Chains A and B, each alone.
Chain A
Amino acid sequence: MSGQVDIVLDRPQQPSEHQILNMGPQHPSTHGVLRLVLELDGEIIVNCTPVVGYLHRAMEKIAESMTFNMFTPYTDRLDYLAPLANNVALSCAQEHLLGIDIPPRAKAIRVICCEMSRISAHLLGLGAFAMDVGAMTAFLWFFREREKIYNLIEHLSGARFTTSYTRVGGVAADMPEGFLDELRAFVDQFPSKVEEVEKLLTTNRIWVERTKDLGVVTPAEAVAWGLTGPNLRGSGVEWDCRLKRPYLAYETYDFEVPVGSVGDAYDRYLVRIEEMKESTKILRQAIGKMPGGPVNVEDSKISLPKKSKVLMGMDELIHQFILVTEGQDAPPGESYFGAENPKGELGFYFRSKGGGYPDRMFIRSPSFVNLQILPKLVQGRYISDVVAILGSLDFVMGECDR
């Protein structure tokens, strides 16, 4: 594919002996279908133009012709490494638009969903990062832990990847019996497994030399380029939606927000490792104080009424029919809700003209915004550094292209 360019480069190619190299869209280290058009001077990168959109599925257009709950399965395919967290973010955004509050038990279950997703997404992100830089063992050891989380997710929602677990006003079903015990067993052994991998990487000379002072982002740059999530915190900016804009009663949990000091790839790695430990702390607290009660709003205009009542009562039958055919009646207006997902702030901007269908839904995807800074970071570096920088930014193309 060398030399062929069918897109408009961000900067025109300099008239010289520079070579154009297409990296991707099927390159294993581009984490999906990202294509990079690199302009090379020998092995040094002069310019880089990312080409995105290979996975574009017009999700925002699709959302305009369906009710709120019908869109939940599409969010499984956004950040497909953390489907539960996407489900939660969408439902919270819809509830923000509708102006409803959910029961405490549903909130605690959603917190468990979010933190399990965060651990599993960081495990894959760091594992793939390490493998791209040459550390195969860390990848395999992290995948062993990830498998345990997927078993838990399967027990909770019935599916390993396409969970579709949340609904407007709560969750699809209460936790199955014995789930909390399984989760506790996982949480008890997980920190020691993270430490094992840390021993492999954190002071490993090859790892440190490959990642230190690589792709440095200053705090001011990180804010100006709109970075969110561990990439922003790796640069030392203490912004976490869970603390700054508490949702799901996150303010009642005791956890720290780790931040980096230099803003290089190594700091972003450390932040993700620490976030996994903090997520474990949150999970332990959520298990400890799991409140009782219903897992759905007891309002028949928001949540489906009980099936036994639907079969016997006229009102419940009408409510079920209206909810399934027309959806929840949203007030006209605009709303935005951003949730702290593993990759950054996943936001949903709704514009409603009343009724059960949004007039416009915009997905503010963290991967799309985080990826913009890439050309700036790779300029003047070697091709092998591109792989390490890509790994440290940790994006998912399903979310980037929507």
Chain B
Amino acid sequence: MSEIKALLDAAAAEVPGVRRIDDLRGDEAFVAEPAALRPFVTRLKELGFDFLVLVTASDNYLDEPRFDVTWRLRSVPRNADVRINVPVGGEDPEVDSVCDLYPAANWMERETWDMFGVRFRGHPNLGRILMWEGFEGHPLRKDYPLLGNTPGTPGYVGKGGKR
């Protein structure tokens, strides 16, 4: 595994704004600046990381930067995984899309937008996927209420008890 480690460290050294972080269970993990994401992922793809396992985000509510967007890439021939975290903040968080590099990213990026409201710059059709068009809010954010009525759902009771 040290060979993979050296390979990844060399790739990270080529791209400014990428640094290695310690991982709980010994996975290869890196933190990248938003601007460094695409160069780093492009470099990793050249090195044989041809499979995108997941794209998702998590919400550090009340902390800044508020969101951590996570990519996990896999090299099928080398049997190695690497995780990339990109912290983004602000009212309207935005990161680059990797859809053109990995077609598998399409729906997972849409899901991340749907659930967290993180925009993916350059995505061909960044619409909602699990919720419906016209739904308001992003349900997996920590400040989204756990209880209450949502317009558009069956059994919704509006103001004054009107359906």
Contact = CB atoms under 8 A, between A and B. Distances in A.
B136 interface: no
Interface string B140-161: 1000101000000000000000
Given A53-B132, A372-B103, A372-B106, A334 B140 contact: no
Nearest to A332: B24
Given A96-B25, A226-B51, A245-B79, 7 more contacts: A224-B103, A224-B104, A226-B102, A332-B24, A334-B24, A336-B54, A373-B103
A312 to B, nearest CB: 37
**B contacts with A: majority SS:** loop
User: What does DSSP make chain A's interface, helix, strand, loop or mixed?
Assistant: mixed
Contact of B50 (A224, A335, A360): A224
A158 interface: no
* Max count, chain A CB within 10 A of own CB: residue among B25, B52, B140: B25
Given A224-B103, A349-B70, A351-B58, A333 B24 contact: yes
A334 B29 contact: yes
A368 B111 CA distance: 10
Contacts of A335: 24-25, 27
A230 interface: no
Contact of A226 (B104, B128, B132, B140): B104
A58 B76 CA distance: 31
Interface stretch (A2-10, A127-135, A138-146): A2-10
Interface in B124-147: 124-125, 127-133, 139-140, 144, 146
Given A58-B139, A226-B51, A369 B104 contact: yes
A244 B79 contact: yes
A7 B110 CA distance: 14
Given A10-B125, A224-B102, A372-B107, A53 B131 contact: yes
Nearest to A51: B129
B43 interface: no
A347 B70 CA distance: 14
Given A52-B130, A53-B129, A359-B58, A336 B27 contact: yes
A338 interface: yes
Given A333-B25, A362-B54, A368-B107, A237 B130 contact: no
Contact of A223 (B24, B50, B129, B144): B50
A58 B27 CA distance: 28
Closest 5 CB pairs of A and B: A226-B104, A333-B24, A360-B58, A53-B130, A362-B56
